[in-house]
Amino acid sequence: MQVTTTEIRPGQSVELLKELHILTRDGKMNQDSRRKLKQVNHLFQFIEPLLEELRADHADISLADHGAGKSYLGFILYDLFCKDRAPAARLHGIETRAELVASSRVLASRLGFAGMSFHHLSVAESIVSDRLPARVDLVTALHACDTATDDAIRFALAKQASFIVLVPCCQAEVAATLRRHKGRALANPLTEIWRHAIHTREFGSHVTNVLRCLQLEAHGYQVGVTELVGWEHSLKNELIIARYQNLPRRRAAERLNELLGMLGLEELRHRFFVQP
């Protein structure tokens, strides 16, 4: 199936899309690739005004894509924005799988994307590594599985990010904790919300993102939540955008702790930490 002009943004590198295997060598695209490109390009529409705002303040924007995987998002952000509009920007891809870091470095070099760098680092290492700036303007995490989204939040908070953009995926930790303590909590009628296995999974996923939003608000961020694209394109479709505003924090922190206690999730307090 040939690519139509509506599927590729003006100025978007066809060569990059081929290297990312979104396009075949002869410029064709299957349905799965079209869905992936639509998601990433739509996410760019949310991120672009944030980058413009940062660029108006300073030219040397710093971005970090945490849990970058194959760095689809990082490469497309660099191609559509940094390459021409913010050549002084630096985009850092952070990933724990060494083979993906190596392949991303090779691709960035081949495309001449000099402002991109890739780091084989754990979360703890990425926070203290001198290969990354002390402060990062914008942190993204696209479909970072399970606790990897929380790792991105931890990194962003440590780096005092102005903006945090998250599309969470495969959230299992909270659901597993709810399931483990279900018997103890049966006296509470709220337990009916997650008594059945499918409800445990879906409720656990929803609660995870609610806790993340409260955590960000408890660190002074203004948080907005919306759909990324239509549900027909992805079931992992929640988009969280946080902007640091130094807002009042006490109420959000109290609500976070109350919710953890109400749902029997106290053991996960470290995951959704709030600085005193």
Q: What is the pLDDT of residue 235?
A: 54
How many CA atoms within 13 Å lie on the side-chain side of 10? 0
What would the pLDDT profile of 12-39 be if each residue is shown by its tens digit?
Answer: 999 999 998 888 888 788 777 888 888 8
Spatial separation of the C-alpha atoms in residues 239 and 249, rounded to whole Å: 22
For the chain, what percent of residues have pLDDT higher than 90? Answer: 65
Which helix (H) or strand (E) segment is 239 a member of?
Answer: strand 238-244
Could you tell me if 273 and 215 are in contact, meaning their C-beta atoms sit under 8 angstroms apart? Answer: yes
Render pLDDT for 33-63 as a digit per residue (tens, 0 to 9).
888 888 888 899 999 999 999 999 999 999 9
Q: Is residue 5 over pLDDT 50?
A: no
Helix (H, G, I), strand (E, B) or coil at 141: strand
Tens of pLDDT, residues 92-138:
999 999 999 999 999 999 999 999 999 999 988 999 999 999 999 99
Kindly state the DSSP code that residue 228 receives in the 8-state scheme. S
Helix (H, G, I), strand (E, B) or coil at 12: coil
Would you call 175 exposed, middle or buried from its count of C-beta atoms within 10 A (0-12, 13-18, 19+)?
buried
pTM higher than 0.75 for the full model? Answer: yes
| φ/ψ (deg, to 5) at 66 | -95, 135
Most confident of 11-15, 84-88, 227-231: 84-88
Residue 156 has pLDDT above 50, yes or no: yes
For the CA atoms of 50, 53, 56, 59, what is the dihedral angle to 10 degrees?
A: -30
Q: How confident is the model at residue 3 (pLDDT cuts 50, 70, 90)?
A: very low
Phi, psi dihedral angles at 6 (to 5 degrees) = -75, -15
Domain locations in the chain as residue ranges: 37-268
User: Which three-class secondary structure state does DSSP give residue 242?
Assistant: strand
| Sheet hosting strand 90-95, strand order edge to edge | 116-120, 90-95, 62-66, 138-145, 163-169, 238-244, 221-227
For the chain, percent of residues with pLDDT exceeding 70: 93
Lowest mean pLDDT among 2-6, 24-28, 256-260: 2-6
Measured CA to CA, the distance from residue 245 to residue 161 in angstroms comes to: 11
Superfamily of domain 37-268: Vaccinia Virus protein VP39 (3.40.50.150)
Give the model's pLDDT for residue 199: 92
Q: What is the pLDDT of residue 185?
A: 62
HEC string for 29-69: CCHHHHHHHHHHHHHHHHHHHHHHHHHHHCCCCEEEEECCC
